Amino acid sequence: MVLLLLNAVWMSPTLDEPAHLVAGISHWRFSDFSLYRVNPPLVRLVAAAPAMLLGYSMDFPETLNDQFSRREFQMGEKFVTENGRWTLWLVTFGRWACTPFSLLAAWTCYLWGRDLYGPRAGVVAILLWCFSPMILGHAALMTPDAPAAAFGVLACYTFWRWLKNPTWQSTITAGMILGLAELCKTTLILFYPLWPILWLAYRLAERRSAPQPQSMTLLRWRNEACMIIARMLIGLYIVNAGYLGVGSFVPLKEYDFRSSMFGSSQEKGIGHGNPFRDHWLGELPVPLPFDYVLGIDHQQRDFEEFWGPSYLRGHFQPKGWWYYYCYALLVKTPIGTMALGLLVLIRRFRSFGGHGGPAIRDEWILLFPMVFVFVVVSSKWGFSHHLRYLFPCFPLAFIWISQIACTISRRELAPSLHLDVNANNLQRNVRRECKGITAFARLRVGLEFWVLCLMWSMGSSLWHFPHSLAYFNEFVGGPRNGAKHLLNSNIDWGQDLLHLEHWISRQANRRKVFLAFDNYYNPFVFGIDKMEPWPMKENVNGSGIPRTIIPDGYYAISINQLYEFPWSVRDRFGKEFRIDKKPLKVLRDIEPIQRVGFSILIFDANQVAKAYSSEKH
| SS3 per residue for 220-238 | HHHHHHHHHHHHHHHHHHH
Beta-bridge partner residues of 595: 601
530 in the Ramachandran plot: left (φ > 0), alpha (ψ -120 to 50) or beta?
A: left
Instruction: Give the span between the Cα atoms of 563 and 560, in whole angstroms.
Output: 5
Report the pLDDT value the prediction gives residue 267, as an integer from 0 to 100.
Answer: 43
Q: How many CB atoms lie within 10 A of CB 263?
A: 19
Q: Which one-letter amino acid corresponds to residue 274?
A: N
Band of residue 411 on the pLDDT scale cut at 50, 70, 90: very low
User: Can you tell me whether residue 257 is helix, strand or coil?
Assistant: strand
Q: What are all long-range contacts of 351-355, with beta carbons under 8 Å and residues at least 24 apart?
A: 352/446, 353/407, 353/408, 353/443, 353/446, 354/408, 355/403, 355/406, 355/407, 355/408
Q: Which of 317-321, 429-433, 522-526, 568-572 has the lowest mean pLDDT?
A: 429-433
> How far is CA 436 from each of CA 355, 356, 357, 397, 429, rounded to the nearest angstrom?
17, 19, 22, 33, 10
Percent of the chain with pLDDT over 90: 65
Answer whether residue 232 shows pLDDT above 60: yes
Band of residue 217 on the pLDDT scale cut at 50, 70, 90: confident
Q: Which of 17-26, 72-81, 490-499, 606-615 has the lowest mean pLDDT?
A: 606-615
How many CA atoms does the CB half-sphere of 96 hold within 13 Å? 14
Angle at which helices 360-379 and 86-117 cross, to 10°: 140
Residue 520: partners with Cβ closer than 8 Å, 6 or more residues away: 15, 18, 19, 73, 76, 77
- Given CA atoms 550, 552, 554, 556 in this order, what sign does their dihedral have? negative
- Do the Cβ atoms of 251 and 279 come closer than 8 Å? no
Band of residue 448 on the pLDDT scale cut at 50, 70, 90: confident
Report the pLDDT value the prediction gives residue 67, as an integer from 0 to 100.
Answer: 65
Instruction: Give the span between the Cα atoms of 318 and 384, in whole angstroms.
Output: 10
Q: Which one-letter amino acid corresponds to residue 316?
A: F
pLDDT tens-digit map of 235-268 = 999 999 999 999 999 999 888 888 888 876 544 4
User: Can you tell me whether residue 215 is helix, strand or coil?
Assistant: coil
Strands (DSSP E) contained in 475-534 are 513-516, 531-533
